[in-house]
Structure 1
Amino acid sequence: MKRVTLTLPLISLAACAAGEVEVPIAVRIANATPAVSVTARGETTPVGTTNADAADDPAIWRNAADPAASLIVGTDKKAGVYVYGLDGRVRDFLDAGRVNNVDLKDGVTINGGTGILVVASDRNDIARAKLALFQLDPVTAKLKALGIVDGGSGEAYGVCMGSDTAGLYAFIVLKDGTINQVALDASGTTPTGRIVRTMKLDTQSEGCAVDDRTGTLYVAEEDVGLWRFDARASGSTTPTKIAAADGKNIVADAEGVAIAPIGEKDGYVIVSSQGDNAYTLYRISDDSYVGRFRIVDGAIGGTEETDGIEVMLGDFGPQYPGGLFIAQDGQNGAAAQNFKLVAWADIVKALGLPQ
């Protein structure tokens, strides 16, 4: 969700009564907890929809055999789904209409074989949420549409995937804060889905991520903060608040969510602090605040007003040591919006995290 910043020196009482008045970005940054700076090492080709809030959410597939040949999937929420190489060039585009967020999982049974399942939140019908399912071919970098699965009543917004011994799930976050857990089965000719559980946050929510190691679902409620749920279909539907959007560590909107796993149960959950163009880390083991960073201008431009983020640790070739962090850029100069690529090693160094 993008906010309009007003920088007028005087706002009348009538104007205040008419609607929300945004605090200027310079003030929000000054009031927020300090953030260290990193620079991007790469960026994707801008999405095809120009002059609009269009690029939204990325997902990463890591090629274990040839890490430099890994792929990025990203949404143009006005048009469809892109596949990019690590060089940022477009490898494929599939016209899927208004798909908002995206996630993927490797090693899924798809139509009798094993492959990479891509799931996007489909908001082509704002009254009835859908999940759009695709298969990503790692050799050709092409997407194949598999089908549409029902996601419940309401407007689709966020999506993330998780799995456990009971099966594969997509968590679809509806715009009103409803979260439906959908059991997926793509093993047949046509994929199927069944809502097995519903959770609820009070207000508009979007970003989410699942930590399969701990069975935890993380969800960002935009004006409230970051929450976690039990991700098991049999688990409690009561959320636990990790952090508030207090204008300090998280400046509303709280947007994209990503997980950087370390060891069996630790690592970091990262949330996009969209209101001051920063990213905030919390330790998974105890929910404690770790630090904040911004992607600033360098050889490649920085990021502003970030919606979706993703991170994956591991070898991505010499350009991205330690792992890859991707952030949507809401203000890409004169060009259409795109995604910026940052080496995880640069974030670790800037924040002084344990190596």
Structure 2
Amino acid sequence: MGLALSACTPAEVPVAVRIANAAPAVSVTARGETTPVGTTNADAADDPAIWRNASDPAASLIVGTDKKAGVYVYGLDGKVRDFSDAGRVNNVDLRDQVVINGAPGILVAASDRNDLARAKLALFRLDPATAKLTPLGTIDAGVGEAYGVCFYRDATALYAFMVVKDGTINQVAIDASGTVPTGKIVRSLKLATQSEGCAADERTGRLYVAEEDVGLWRFDAAVTGSTTPVKIAAADNRNIVADAEGVAIAPVGEKDGYVIVSSQGDNAYVLYRLSDDSYVGRFRIVDGAIGGSEETDGIDLMLGDFGPAYPGGLFIAQDGHNAAAAQNFKLVAWGDIEKALGLQ
């Protein structure tokens, strides 16, 4: 069996075999899900981002991409609140309290791959009252096909890390304060092969990136920082079963917490401790009152009050096999994940 499996790529090995060979994973169930994306019979839903309404948690919003068509906005009830026909956009992230055209607001960035030879950032303003997206235009983010994107904000500027399909990571300084947003590539990082998911920890100034067939890395996110990556974990088909995909962060205290990566090959999610990169555990989203999730691409996580349905915070995972329907996103209470992994 070992010789047979070694000759196969992860995708060629049956899922049941991948799960059997992987490290144990605890089970949780989703408490909610979004309406399926509009593109049917295709790998379409890809990446979510969460905006938490601090004054009214029930009015929080989810932004998610249909990478064949555009960007959706959902309520916590999973219903579609808006759709922007942006074409081929892959990953998405957002930041609140960004100066947009002279006033603070919620800035959304999606990795725009409409031109496969030239990566761009598609920018939008999200109105929290109406849940509507207003397109602000695109800015250049380097040569190659746009894949992953995540925001990072330091004391002086807002940046977007654009992960190009070949493993190049361009750090783009963004200024949305004028009539038309502008951007400038201020630094480039590099991983050797195809990469996508990323997340930045603004407390510690670290960037986390998933290299799909290789594993999880971290970089110094500061513009003047080292460009040398540090490997946190390998896609060893034990803890991370390739592909390593979406990345999210659960901050705890001033410097600790967890980085989570989607272990796409065996339908699981893996936690590593931020303070020392140590392995913490694995979980899966299994069938319950709502279906589970499989072959997840993008994930997002935000701690805090999202109302009684989501104690501890909200974890969202793209579901690559949503029964007979088109792909969608599954919503899980962070408190349920903590309890299952014994983190509480």
- The TM-score range, normalised by the shorter chain, is over 0.9
Measured after TM superposition, the shift of residue 84 of structure 1 is 0.2
Amino acid at match of 2:165: K
Indicate whether 1:255 and 2:258 are aligned.
no
SS at match of 1:68: helix
Amino acid at match of 2:56: D
State the match for 1:3 in structure 2: none
State the match for 1:318 in structure 2: 308
1:118-197 equivalence runs, <5 A: 118-197=108-187
Please give the TM-score of this superposition, normalised by the length of structure 1.
Answer: 0.94
Q: Structure 1, residues 194-220: CA drift from partner, whole Å, max 9, x if none?
A: 000000000000000000000000000
SS at match of 1:189: coil
CA contact 2:94–2:107 (8 Å) conserved in 1: yes
State the match for 1:42 in structure 2: 32
* Structure 2: distance between partners of 1:108 and 1:20: 41
* Structure 1: distance between partners of 2:329 and 2:10: 29
1:343–1:21 Cα change, 3 Å:
closer
* Structure 1: distance between partners of 2:304 and 2:11: 43
Measured after TM superposition, the shift of residue 20 of structure 1 is 8.2
* Structure 2: distance between partners of 1:93 and 1:78: 13
* Structure 1: distance between partners of 2:264 and 2:10: 17
Indicate whether 1:219 and 2:209 are aligned.
yes
Q: Structure 1, residues 109-133: CA drift from partner, whole Å, max 9, x if none?
A: 0000000000000000000000000
The runs of 4+ residues in structure 1 deviating greater than 6 Å are none
Indicate whether 1:203 and 2:193 are aligned.
yes
Please give the TM-score of this superposition, normalised by the length of structure 2.
Answer: 0.97
Match for residue 278 of structure 2 among 257, 267, 288: 288
Match for residue 90 of structure 2 among 94, 100, 110: 100
State the match for 1:240 in structure 2: 230
* Structure 2: distance between partners of 1:276 and 1:113: 44
Q: Unaligned regions of 5+ residues in structure 1, if any?
A: 1-10
Q: Structure 1, residues 88-138: CA drift from partner, whole Å, max 9, x if none?
A: 000000000000000000000000000000000000000000000000000
* Structure 2: distance between partners of 1:333 and 1:146: 36
Query: In the comparison of the two structures, how many residue pairs are matched?
Result: 339
* Structure 1: distance between partners of 2:10 and 2:178: 49
Measured after TM superposition, the shift of residue 22 of structure 1 is 1.4
* Structure 1: distance between partners of 2:225 and 2:12: 39
1:20–1:293 Cα change, 3 Å:
closer
Q: Structure 1, residues 168-222: CA drift from partner, whole Å, max 9, x if none?
A: 0000000000000000000000000000000000000000000000000000000
Amino acid at match of 1:272: S
1:301-312 equivalence runs, <5 A: 301-312=291-302
Paired-residue identity, % = 82
CA contact 2:92–2:110 (8 Å) conserved in 1: yes
1:263-278 equivalence runs, <5 A: 263-278=253-268
SS at match of 2:12: coil
Amino acid at match of 1:74: G
* Structure 1: distance between partners of 2:27 and 2:226: 38
Measured after TM superposition, the shift of residue 39 of structure 1 is 0.1
CA contact 2:194–2:211 (8 Å) conserved in 1: yes
Q: Structure 1, residues 212-271: CA drift from partner, whole Å, max 9, x if none?
A: 000000000000000000000111100000000001110000000000001110000000
1:29–1:20 Cα change, 3 Å:
closer
Measured after TM superposition, the shift of residue 23 of structure 1 is 1.1
Amino acid at match of 2:47: D
* Structure 2: distance between partners of 1:50 and 1:65: 36
State the match for 1:336 in structure 2: 326
* Structure 1: distance between partners of 2:224 and 2:18: 41
SS at match of 2:323: coil
Q: Structure 1, residues 298-332: CA drift from partner, whole Å, max 9, x if none?
A: 00000000000000000000100110000000000
SS at match of 2:53: coil
Q: Unaligned regions of 5+ residues in structure 2, if any?
A: none
Measured after TM superposition, the shift of residue 166 of structure 1 is 2.6
State the match for 2:100 in structure 1: 110
Indicate whether 1:55 and 2:45 are aligned.
yes
Indicate whether 1:86 and 2:76 are aligned.
yes
